[in-house]
Structure 1
Amino acid sequence: MSQHPNAVLALMSNDVLARMQPHLDVVPLESGAVLGEPFRRIPHAYFPHSAMNRVTVQIRGEASGISLAQFAALMLEISELRKGVIRFEQYLFAQAQQTGACNAHHTVSQKLCKWLLRMHDLTGPVLPLTQEFIAYMIGVRRTSVSDAAKTLQADGLIDYHRGTIRVLNKTKMESQACECADDLRNQYRDAMLAEEVA
């Protein structure tokens, strides 16, 4: 395993990372930047260091970027990289299934705690997030997020001021989050950290 700041690339051997490094550029990702659009070919693959992104950057930070053509060529050449990408795709599929089940069965407060913990793990305790954006991400109304955030703040778990949330008590938040947070960590561990069976 390497010391790369991206979780997927950190799982690659130093040899694989050395082969990729000449093609990787560290790029800033600003909140709201669009990395890809439906039905259009994306020009680059991004490996976030501190940003949170899907198709649109959600929390600004940095990423290692590589042209999609070069990335595809390296995946054909390097089986370890190809297997790592496939494992990550399997994790994303499991995450989507888990999120669907979570949205159907857990309270807004539980989902909010789960989601804030995930963001905390990815970017740290200070989260530049609006209630509207959080509501979109966890599939509820903004007023529901507002009510849940007020309760979390009153209980000393977060400090919330317009557009910024600071996680104050991660341990207590973990106890109030739905079990999906642990399930997602376990799914990540199983998909990304499992030893390959010979």
Structure 2
Amino acid sequence: MAHVAPSSSPNRNKILAALNEADYPNIFSQLEPVSLAQGEVIYEADSPMKYVYFPVTAVFSMLSSMEDGRTVEVGPVGHEGLVGLRIFLGADTSLDQVIVHVAGEAMRLRASVLKAAVSAQGGMSDKLVRYTQMLLAMTARSGACNKLHSTEQQLARWLLTMCDYVGEELAVTHELIALTLGVRRAGVSEAANGFRNGGVIEYRRGHIQIVDRRGLEVIACECYPVVKKEYDHLYADLSQPSRG
């Protein structure tokens, strides 16, 4: 369960950092720092969204589940965005299950406060529209990648994305990666073993260390640079002044 974090800076989240605090006193005064554990469920599919979450050091995963129990990641959310974007789009329930993939901190805000801020100020809407565009591009690419590329390519892409979020050492199990990629755990273990034998990663139970990022980039499919380019464009756009 989420619990209040002792301290956290909202400016480490790209969307919050792009806002002028003086223009949004109701948002910044009601942000609540929370610490989140790996595997914690933030939303269940079709459940009400009482809060939105702005990741600071935590990384979230949006998971789409099938009736037979299989899952696949729709997309990750880190310090570039927020969890609960459907509230901005007018929905009150989550389409997908959302879990904490990498433990860490986030800033939590009541959904009603976000709705009021968006209605009152156009500048925040600009930022969220741009983030929505990036998220749509990412999820479309993720769907194509899951269908067309090998487990090795998908794993390399995923590891590079996580490295961009949290650095070269990841606290994550093969089981959780398999859940995310929608593949067999044995397939993840086989791919990871190949990466280790090739000298691009080291791992022990529950931890992966990236030792050759360039080697991972060679293995990864073209989806990684395409999505990273979208992220870079988003960061540049968020740095532009809001219209108010």
Per the normalisation by structure 1, the TM-score is 0.89
CA displacement 1:141-172 (0-9 Å, x = unmatched): 11111111011111111111111111112122
* CA distance in 1: counterparts of 2:113 and 2:135, whole angstroms: 23
Match of 1:119 in 2: 162
Partner secondary structure for residue 41 of structure 2: coil
Paired position in structure 1 for 2:232:
189
Q: Distance in 2 between matches of 1:75 and 1:125?
A: 36
- Aligned-residue CA RMSD in angstroms? 2.2
**Deviation of 1:109 (Å):** 1.2
Secondary structure of 1:159's match?
strand
3-state SS of the aligned residue for 1:56?
A: strand
Structure 1 residue 173 corresponds to structure 2 residue 180: no
Correspondence list, 1:16-165, <5 A: 16=23, 20-54=27-61, 55-165=98-208
C-alpha contact 1:153 1:160 (8 A) present in aligned 2: yes
Which is worse superposed, 103-112 or 184-193?
Answer: 184-193
Shift of 1:14: 5.1
- 2:11 alignment partner in structure 1: 4
Letter in 1 for 2:159: L
Q: Secondary structure at the match of 1:140?
A: coil
1:119 Cα offset (Å): 0.7
Bigger Cα displacement from structure 2, 154-163 vs 183-192: 183-192
Q: Quick one: which amino acid aligns to residue 9 of structure 1?
A: L
Percent identical across equivalent pairs?
A: 31
Distance (Å, rounded) in 1 between the aligned partners of 2:12 and 2:234:
19
Asked if 2 retains the 8 angstrom alpha-carbon contact of 1:48 and 1:63, the reply is: yes
Per-residue deviation at 1:192?
A: 5.0
Task: Give the counterpart letter for 1:49 in structure 2.
Answer: V
Q: Give the number of the structure with larger relative contact order, counting CA–CA contacts within 8 Å between residues 6 or more apart.
A: 2
2:158 aligned partner, one-letter code: W
Matched pairs, number = 196
Indicate conservation of the 8 Å contact 1:16/1:81, yes or no: no
Offset of residue 18 of structure 1: 5.7
Deviation at 1:59, TM superposition (A): 1.2
CA distance in 2: counterparts of 1:75 and 1:69, whole angstroms: 10
1:120 alignment partner, SS class = helix
By percentage of residues, which structure has more strand? 2
SS, match of residue 193 in structure 1: helix
> Offset of 1:37 from its aligned partner?
2.2
Paired with 1:78 and 1:168, the residues of 2 have a C-alpha distance of 45
Shift of 1:190: 3.5
Please give the secondary structure, in 2, of the residue aligned with 1:41.
coil
TM-score for the superposition, normalised by structure 2:
0.73
Partner Cα separation in structure 2 for residue 190 and residue 16 of structure 1:
24
CA–CA distance in structure 1, aligned partners of residues 234 and 159 of structure 2: 22
